[in-house]
Amino acid sequence: MPVVAAALIAANGRILLHQRKLDGALGGLWEFPGGKVEPGENPDSALVRELAEELGVAVDPADLVYLASASEPGNPHVILLYTCRVWAGEPVCLAGEAIAWVAPQDLLAHEMPPLDVPLAQALISSI
C-alpha cells in the first residue's frame, strides 16, 4: 500500500513536521505530511491532494522531487518521500495535532513513526 510524504523545505532551511492526532494510529508522533495513495491516483497527485488537505498549501507536481522510500517487514505500507521547496500559501495545521518548522539537526529529536526515521536520515544526508 503506497503512502506518499513530503519534506517541505523553507528558504531558511527548516523542514515542516506534522504531528499526528494524539488519539489515532501512531498518535502524537511527528511525521512528514502526506498520506495514502488512493485508487486511481498517481503518487504525485496523491501528495498534492494530501498537502492541500493537511496544510492548506497548493503544490505543483513539478516541484516534487523524489528522495527516498522506506518499508519494513510485516508492514504492507511503503512510504515514498519527496522534497518540495516551492508551494503557495502558508502551511497551517488542518488535520493533525500541530505542525513545526524544524532545523535539520533537530529532526531526529522529534519522536517519529518507524518509517519516518530512515526517511529523515536520508533527508539529512541529502542537504
Binding interface with ligand 8DG (CB under 6 A): 3, 25-26, 31, 35-36, 75, 77, 79, 113-116
Smallest separation (angstroms) from ligand 8DG to the CB of 11: 25
Smallest separation (angstroms) from ligand 8DG to the CB of 88: 22
CA distance 10 to 115: 23
Smallest separation (angstroms) from ligand 8DG to the CB of 49: 9
**Nearer to ligand 8DG among residue 43 and residue 113 (C-beta):** 113
**Nearer to ligand 8DG among residue 77 and residue 85 (C-beta):** 77
- Is residue 45 classed as helix, strand or coil in its secondary structure? helix
**Nearer to ligand 8DG among residue 44 and residue 116 (C-beta):** 116
CA–CA–CA angle 97, 50, 71 (5° rounding): 85
